[in-house]
Structure 1
């Protein structure tokens, strides 16, 4: 309500400003013994065009042109030529102002259409996540360092497949609109491979092959291919860090990590409602594989068992922009502590965690992000069976295809 009143007040001031300017010039002309203020009437149409639009510009120009021809005071009666010249200047300013206003409105319409097309395209690339997947509550959020971009160099997706809920979180080298094509290539491959491949390792191999094809095609398009037609992709110029997860029906989380930060597990302490916040602990052990695009994948890809997500627990995936965000003093963002505070007590609501962490990130950095930041929260809302638990999910090791 207060904001609406402020907007209305500003619009009223802008609308009245040309009239106040004309009134001030007329009063000055009448009170001044020399009467040299009439030339200032030429500014009124320009003020009207800049503040409101073409109609008020034309109205202000007509009123000012008439006032310029009407002699006001003794000095005005003595210099009719100056008043005719001022009238012509007012009409010229009004014509130029109308032309600029028409062009500005056309450019604004084109900009709005371009924004609609970009928003639609970006929502297809990084489409909204379903709120629930096979008993897993899901929420994702993204902060782009590029102004006006909904998608940058970060990517995430979650799918319910016959083999469990599969999730990918990645970070493409670079950010902004230049990285969207790589994001689209990786996500497009994941959306197919996650349903087709029984082994998580084979999903990763599909993603690696899709990335290689994309980088080669882009290198040829940009003229960076080698003499034999092979793209110069082994120079480490383009790569993607990737975390591939699978949540089995019994809550076991398995993963393959290619140079990406390990996730955090949020668990509420025993005794819901006691006001104690959730505990955030990093999960994952061992050295990750190199990022995709730097080196070929090894022949064996052992799938690691990260943790078991019990009912009520949550898993938080993030890109390195979250932990690397700094404030004005150079202090890093305390992601683990903020996650515990954002989750609060049971139950853990993923969308609430996303909103609170994003708000804390913007406060910490003062709104000046240096890298894209993506967050994905998965909460296990499944209920345990009375006696027999769900069928366990076997940890599989991928084998290269022949």
Structure 2
């Protein structure tokens, strides 16, 4: 997975000291030392800089109100104790500057009252910010756990394939979104799905969980890949609203050299053979999952040769619809050709970094990339299925057959994740 895993900790580091490293201090001195350790350096530096400017220029009445910048900045980066420390320091130095320049008592009192007010308000803001950060850390930790359950990590090797996944959610704080993927070995070969749920947020996450739950069960139960798609379609028809749908590509590798693809309104995967990158466009376009009842059209099964050295990239529209400052889409096929190598993880890492550079650092839609590679076996070695691969790596004739008639039967377990 591509996300950082550091969660659940406050943003204020706790300094730990070894016992016996320094002589024991009296309780009051320890309290002062602890308070000083929590005082941020930058706001203190700003306060002293204002004092130095006053000493150099002798214009205390002009610079004195700027001392409030110290506690105001501390409120954004420090703990409440640090804000109070900076506020106290600014107030003491402000009083000294006022007395030094002979400011009237009423004017000096007003300025000091303003400094104290800013310090107290900053302390409250710092406390509220710390509370929100702790809540956000807890929410992100829960989201991280949900992501592991929903989008399980893909191992480097699945069946006869090398595999890698890179996923980025548009809601970076949540770390999960409406894109989905799964890659699992089954009694009928390795099967996979990559999809994109209409919408974002929690409703999209719930729909993605439903699709993945049905897929993981049906992929083990159904010998025919089209029956797997049927199971997902029936489940979505009962659980989605009229305007909801899921675009998806479901694929399977039932035997050496044969890759089956069912495309339901999704972007076509990119097949890499040698140095050529070509899209696997469906011969018979089908509607997204959840909309079949409206269109009356059923997807077909497309068969493509997939031999040693070939690679196949599945992706969602968050990748191809990413725009730069000039509103130009990201050229995924060209980027894949530039960064292609024998290690799928390295290829996807380079692609993702180039994608971030293209959009200026942050994606505005969920983006998922799943790359498969059929390793090149040693000379004379048999394929994982027990058959030696021979002949040209050219694409097999694409076979399309209609989906079987969908009856009303449905396993009650389909919705389980």
Q: TM-score, normalised by structure 1?
A: 0.76
Paired residue for 2:261?
Answer: 255
**Secondary structure, in 3 states, of the residue corresponding to 2:292?**
coil
What whole-Å deviation, never above 9, does each CA across 1:62-96 have from its counterpart, x for those lacking one? 344444555634624xx344444544443333333
Pick from 160, 176, 183: which aligns with 2:185? 160
**Secondary structure, in 3 states, of the residue corresponding to 1:242?**
strand
Paired residue for 2:310?
Answer: 313
**2: distance between equivalents of 1:59 and 1:208?**
62
- How has the CA–CA distance of structure 1 residues 22 and 43 changed in structure 2, closer, same or farther, with 3 Å as cutoff? farther
Pick from 29, 44, 59: which aligns with 2:85? 59
Paired residue for 2:355?
Answer: 361
Post-superposition shift, 1:212? Answer: 1.9
Supply the RMSD in Å over aligned alpha carbons: 3.3
In the TM superposition, what are the counterparts of 1:77-116 in structure 2 within 5 Å?
79-116=104-141
- How has the CA–CA distance of structure 1 residues 97 and 285 changed in structure 2, closer, same or farther, with 3 Å as cutoff? closer
How many residues are aligned here? 353
**2: distance between equivalents of 1:339 and 1:353?**
8
What whole-Å deviation, never above 9, does each CA across 1:245-273 have from its counterpart, x for those lacking one? 111231310122211222222123xxxxx
Q: Is the 8 Å Cα contact of residues 302 and 398 (structure 1) preserved in structure 2?
A: no
**2: distance between equivalents of 1:389 and 1:285?**
28
371-380 vs 162-171, which moves further? 371-380
**Secondary structure, in 3 states, of the residue corresponding to 1:362?**
helix
- How has the CA–CA distance of structure 1 residues 294 and 39 changed in structure 2, closer, same or farther, with 3 Å as cutoff? closer
**1: distance between equivalents of 2:66 and 2:328?**
54
Paired residue for 1:333?
Answer: 330
Paired residue for 1:151?
Answer: 176
1:17 maps to 2:46: yes
- How has the CA–CA distance of structure 1 residues 363 and 62 changed in structure 2, closer, same or farther, with 3 Å as cutoff? closer
179-188 vs 258-267, which moves further? 258-267
1:122 maps to 2:147: yes
In the TM superposition, what are the counterparts of 1:148-297 in structure 2 within 5 Å?
148-215=173-240, 219=241, 233=242, 237-268=243-274, 278-296=275-293
Q: Is the 8 Å Cα contact of residues 15 and 51 (structure 1) preserved in structure 2?
A: no
Post-superposition shift, 1:158? Answer: 0.6
Post-superposition shift, 1:204? Answer: 0.8
Q: Is the 8 Å Cα contact of residues 318 and 367 (structure 2) preserved in structure 1?
A: yes
- How has the CA–CA distance of structure 1 residues 91 and 308 changed in structure 2, closer, same or farther, with 3 Å as cutoff? same
Alignment gaps of 5+ in structure 2: 1-39, 390-398, 410-417
**1: distance between equivalents of 2:335 and 2:67?**
59
Q: TM-score, normalised by structure 2?
A: 0.73
314-323 vs 366-375, which moves further? 366-375
281-290 vs 55-64, which moves further? 55-64
**2: distance between equivalents of 1:327 and 1:96?**
41
Paired residue for 2:406?
Answer: 400
Paired residue for 1:273?
Answer: none
- How has the CA–CA distance of structure 1 residues 245 and 49 changed in structure 2, closer, same or farther, with 3 Å as cutoff? closer
Alignment gaps of 5+ in structure 1: 1-10, 220-232, 269-277
- How has the CA–CA distance of structure 1 residues 37 and 188 changed in structure 2, closer, same or farther, with 3 Å as cutoff? same
Post-superposition shift, 1:26? Answer: 5.9
**Secondary structure, in 3 states, of the residue corresponding to 1:210?**
helix
Q: Is the 8 Å Cα contact of residues 265 and 287 (structure 2) preserved in structure 1?
A: yes
